[in-house]
Amino acid sequence: MGAVDTQKELSVYESMAARFDIAARKLGLDEGLYKYLRMPNREIIVHIPVVMDSGRLDVFDGFRVQHSIARGPSKGGIRFGPDVTLDEIRGLAAEMTWKCAVVNIPFGGAKGGVICDPHQLSQGELERITRRYTAEILDYIGPERDVPAPDMNTNEQTMAWIMDTYSMHVRHTVTASVTGKPIDLGGSRGRREATGRGCMIACDEALKRFGRSRESTRVIVHGFGNVGSQAARLMHETGYKIVGVADIAGGVYNPRGLDVPALVEYVAETKTVSGFPGGEPIDCLAILEQDCEVLVPAATESVITSRNAERIKARILVEGANSPTTPPADEILFDHGVFVVPDILANAGGVTVSYFEWVQDRQGYFWTEADVNERLKHILVSSFDDVVRYGEKHNVNNRIAAYMLAIDRVAFTMKLRGIYA
């Protein structure tokens, strides 16, 4: 999203490291493991030559950062964007390690990115960038090594190109080399909705703790990409009242509730929620501060900072995006008694169904959508309980509890494995 608070108070990596430091200290993490886990295991930087439609040769910078493979192959998305940085990818790669550990799936963490503006590129140019990027990192990825997935500005088509490029190089089709593929190419049913569905499940669990009904709960969803739109749609279908949505172009607010199916149709045509006639127009940052019980930041990082946290009215924050809240904002929210479902739990539905996709590809046996959704719910509900109980036991907030639980699991595995010398 462009229209966000661009004056970042902490970078994504700095935010991750600040939380890691608190959790590691509380855990009494061994000094050597602290040093090792605070930084990624491997960082790959590539310069990708691409012949543009005009015939001109252009060069794009790309990254793949593998934070940890202690618990299994590294796992995480690839994002495209003009503002992508190595620091951001490094922070997000570590977050993937913690996310996979929180939901207890057998993966480490990674993240990739290419600096480019997808909105200025043709399909052909996007395909060539994706394929050459894949070729450049080919030796470091694969079903047993590192498994990419979609993230901001990448989608099922991007994953199909990566899978095909990988498969052409190894001379046979390897569907398990990426997740988030089209269903016809070995993708999983339910993967497209999984992150949004996970937000809804996490929100349901939070409501139970407050003894609230869905029907009496007003929700604002910030961001209307894959995560935000699916979260809004599913939450509306199950009875929540969606009172506000926003994307990069602007927002719309209606205290009586938005007609979400009509909104989804409107967005399919106009590509934005801005201008939707079912509510009052509102600025895309101002919407964060409107009246509601639940806020789902599902756009991008660092939208809730020390500059606006004070004015957040929601009692429950369900982080659909990665790192939408800065550590200084965490403190303010905590002091105000906001119940935060942290990103590495709230948005873990995506990577959980990615895990199911990888399992199905390796088995060559595909599950029904009901089966996928049922298993997803089971994992998220028990992870939610684990985090909240851990926090109560150690007297820390949900964010630090999730980090502590994750770091503890990764450190335990590393101690069992020992260090190869």
Task: Please classify residue 77 by burial: count the beta carbons closer than 10 Å to its beta carbon, then call 0-12 exposed, 13-18 middle and 19+ buried.
Answer: buried
CB closer to ligand GLU, 81 vs 350: 350
- Choose which of 322, 323, 360, 398 interacts with ligand GLU (CB under 6 A): 322
**Do strands 241-247 and 316-318 pair parallel, antiparallel, or not at all (unpaired)?**
unpaired
What binding mask, one character per residue, do residues 162-191 give for ligand GLU by CB under 6 A, x or -? -----------------xx-----------
Specify whether the backbone of 338 is left (phi greater than 0), alpha (psi in -120 to 50) or beta.
beta
Whole-number Å distance between alpha carbons of 104 and 96: 12
Pick between residue 152 and residue 338 the one whose CB is nearest to ligand GLU: 152
Nearer to ligand GLU, 301 or 330 (CB): 301
Per CB under 6 A, does 217 bind ligand GLU? no
Cα dist from 32 to 35, 95, 114, 411, 419, whole Å? 5, 20, 32, 11, 11
Q: Which lies closer to ligand GLU via its Cβ, residue 105 or residue 267?
A: 105
Annotated active-site residue 181? The verdict is: no
Near ligand GLU in 228-267, by CB under 6 A: none
Residue 50 is given by DSSP the state: E
User: Token pair for residue 51?
Assistant: 């012949």
DSSP conformational letter for 56: -
**Site size for ligand GLU (CB under 6 A):** 12
Could you give the CA distance from residue 97 to residue 99 in angstroms, rounded to a whole number? 6
Nearest approach, Cβ of residue 198 and ligand GLU (Å): 10
Q: How far apart are CA 358 and CA 107, in angstroms?
A: 11
Task: Provide φ and ψ at 130, rounded to 5°.
Answer: -60, -45
Active-site position among 75, 99, 111, 181: 111
Choice between 127 and 151, CB closer to ligand GLU: 151
* DSSP states of 362-386: HHT----HHHHHHHHHHHHHHHHHH
Longest dimension (CA), the chain: 64
Give me the DSSP letters along 344-367.
HHHTTHHHHHHHHHHHHHHHT---
Closest distance between ligand GLU and the C-beta of residue 151, in Å? 4
Which residue among 69, 149, 303, 380 contacts ligand GLU (CB under 6 A)?
149
C-beta of 149 vs 312, nearer to ligand GLU:
149
Left if phi > 0, otherwise alpha if psi is -120 to 50, otherwise beta: which for 82? alpha
CA distance 357 to 7: 38
Ranges within 43-82 binding ligand GLU (CB under 6 A): 75-77
Q: In the range 107-126, which residues lie near ligand GLU by CB under 6 A?
A: none
Q: Which residue is nearest to ligand GLU (CB)?
A: 77
User: Least distance (Å) from ligand GLU to the CB of residue 354?
Assistant: 3
93/292 with CB nearer ligand GLU = 93
> What is the smallest separation between the CB atom of 410 and ligand GLU, expressed in angstroms?
17
CB of 312 to ligand GLU, least distance (A): 23
17-23 long-range contacts (CB < 8 A, ≥24 apart) are: 17/91, 18/327, 19/327, 19/399, 19/400, 19/403, 20/94, 20/403, 20/407, 22/400, 22/403, 23/400, 23/403, 23/404, 23/407
Closest approach, Cβ 106 to ligand GLU, in A, equals 13
Residue among 142 and 255 whose Cβ is closer to ligand GLU = 142
**Smallest distance from the beta carbon of 77 to ligand GLU, in angstroms?**
3
For the window 338-367, what string marks contact with ligand GLU as x by the rule CB under 6 A?
A: ---------x--xx--x-------------
- Which of 88, 127, 146, 151 binds ligand GLU (CB under 6 A)? It is 151
Q: What are the DSSP E strand ranges found in 210-322?
A: 218-222, 241-247, 250-253, 280-282, 294-297, 316-318
* Closest distance to ligand GLU from the beta carbon of 155 (Å): 11
Residues forming the site for ligand GLU (CB under 6 A): 75-77, 149, 151, 179-180, 322, 347, 350-351, 354
Catalytic positions: 111
